[in-house]
Amino acid sequence: MPSSSVFVVSRSTIYPEHHESVNNSLRLSVSDLPMLSCQYIQKGVLLTQPPTELTSTHLISHLKISLSKTLSHFPPLAGRLITNSDGHVYILCNDAGVDFVHAKAPHLTIATLIPPNYSDLPLYFRKFFQFESTLSYAGHYKPLMVIQVTELNDGVFIGCTMNHAVVDGTSFWNFFNTFAEFSKGEKKITRQPFFGRNTVFDSPAVLQFPEGGPSATFSGDEPIREKIFHFSREAILKLKFRANNKMAVNGQNGKTNGKITPVNNEPALQNGAAVKGTASEISSFQSLSAQLWRSVTRARKLDGSKTTTFRMAVNCRHRLEQKMEPLYFGNAIQSIPTVASVNELLTNDLNWSANLLHQNVVAHDDATVRRGVKDWESNPRLFPLGNFDGAMITMGSSPRFPMYDNDFGWGRPLAVRSGMANKFDGKISAFPGREGNGTVDLEVVLAPETMAGLEEDMEFMQYVS
């Protein structure tokens, strides 16, 4: 990738237009603190060229004003992290501002950035974001957010880099959606974030750090390939049907006598009774995740006795019996690990692995969330992001996030893409498909030889469009 393909025109600091009522400081929760060793989130949208009246100068000025208005409703993002004498980490809402970078890439076109299906992701996207490899702990002395607007030959990319100890995906996309709405001309905020801290995640527990802060939990030096795999609604429904139906064999000795009967899953039982809140149907996303788990594990050619782990981040806002505010600002996520031996995963059918994921998600209720908090408080620790044994998959983001709602005034995004942050062999990010209606894009990051094996796995590829 030529270093001259993207060049910075200017850098500036943007401050909130005015002050909204919010606490001067917000303590990081037990869901925020583990993210201090994670890199900043990097996500952005590829847009068509703005109308001719929005010249380059007018476009940048317009976006800066819109960003300033948005920050008025998200004052923590204009602050900095601070650790007090007791070891508690806070967001200090001091209006220190965020960075705004204007860049140009006149030789890059939309066609270059959205190659034909099955191509690897162009490396250019890595240059559309700031703070490469920066850990969230750096928010003690760096801005908590950077916006980079990159003008292309025939389009614009708006990239947002945001501190992961300050936001999760729900909070990130609420900010991004609001930024787009103000740019489009909205006068009032439509989804006001909630800054309260009286939740199960608020805790007096202290996480100890070495001098100078934590280190990344993965090296980031291994060779990787990145691809977007698109799944149509029809393909996902086929996967879901397959995952929800065991093929019951009628007859003796495995003979079907010409008849195969689909059998739906039964609700999970505990002490002979159905577990409260258990849904019998495996979801579309759980079905897709199970298929990915099977196919990536097969492509890795692991020993059958080895244990493989599928980690899935879940939003806890609605899982508590006294539900949190849907727009609670901060991290309100926990990681659900599902484990199986390679032999179990590959010799059983899709229903088996999908049901394993499904039951784990269903069981993650109020009591489970609270147990997770207590467990962390008893042993405060950073989130172990990475693939430590070569057999892990980590699923992040969500196809439910409103990523394609980001119309800045001249049309919906053509694509949603990410930077290089938090990427390693086995990191998967789920996006909605641009056409909506239940379509899903999976951003898959794998070792080159594993990606080659996945591309040849017809059990997986038959669903890719």
Q: Which of 151, 168, 184 is the last residue in one of the domains?
A: 184
Question: What is this structure's pTM?
Answer: 0.92
177 with 295, same domain? no
Residue labelled with tokens 């080895």 = 306
> Does 122 lie in the same domain as 60?
yes
pLDDT at 21: 67
Residue 249 has pLDDT above 60, yes or no: no
For the chain, percent of residues with pLDDT exceeding 90: 87
> What count of residues does the chain have?
465
pLDDT at position 117 is 74
User: Is residue 426 within 8 Å of 443, Cβ to Cβ?
Assistant: no
Residue 309 and residue 168 in one domain? no
Shared domain for 364 and 456, answered yes or no, is yes
Tell me which H or E stretch contains 47: strand 41-48
Query: By C-alpha distance, which of 403, 203, 394, 434 is closest to 314?
Result: 394
- Both 29 and 87 in one domain: the answer is yes
For residue 11, is it within any domain? yes
What count of other Cβ atoms lies within 10 Å of the Cβ of residue 437? Answer: 8
Show the tokens assigned to 143. 């801005």
Taking the CA atoms of the chain, what radius of gyration do you get in angstroms?
23
E strand map for 286-342: 307-315, 333-341
Number of domains in the chain: 2
Range picked from 13-27, 248-262, 276-290 for highest mean pLDDT: 13-27
* Residues 120, 12 within the same domain: yes
Q: How confident is the model at residue 272 (pLDDT cuts 50, 70, 90)?
A: very low
Element (H, E) at 372: helix 366-378
For residue 4, what pLDDT band results from cuts at 50, 70 and 90?
A: low
Q: Are both 124 and 236 inside the same structural domain? A: no
Give burial (CB, 10 Å; 0-12/13-18/19+) of 368. middle
* Structural domain boundaries, residue 16: 7-184
287 in the same domain as 374: yes
End-to-end CA distance of the chain: 28
User: Does the residue 276 lie in any domain?
Assistant: no
- Residue 43 CA to chain centroid, in angstroms? 9
Burial environment of residue 269 by CB neighbours within 10 A (0 to 12, 13 to 18, 19 or more): exposed
What is the CATH classification number for the domain harbouring 394?
3.30.559.10
- Write the burial class of residue 152 (CB in 10 Å: 0-12 exposed, 13-18 middle, 19+ buried): buried
153 falls within a domain: yes
Q: Are residues 34 and 146 in the same domain?
A: yes
Report the range of poorest mean pLDDT among 3-7, 128-132, 335-339, 392-396. Answer: 3-7
Structural domain ending residue among the three candidates 133, 168, 184: 184
- The residue type found at 315 is N
- Residue 296 belongs to a domain: yes
In a domain, residue 269? The reply is no
76 within a domain of the structure (yes/no): yes
Q: What's the pLDDT at 250? A: 33
Beta carbons of 327 and 74 less than 8 angstroms apart = no
Distance of alpha carbon 195 from the chain centroid? 21
Same domain, yes or no: 170 and 292: no
Kindly state whether residue 169 falls inside one of the protein's structural domains: yes
Is the distance from CB of 184 to CB of 138 less than 8 angstroms? no
The answer on 144 and 285 residing in a single domain is no
Q: Does residue 443 contact residue 456 with C-beta atoms inside 8 Å? A: no
18 is a domain residue: yes
Regarding whether 239 and 149 lie in a shared domain, the answer is no
Chain centre to alpha carbon of residue 65 = 28
159-204 per-position pLDDT tens digit? 999 999 999 999 999 999 999 999 999 999 999 999 999 999 999 9
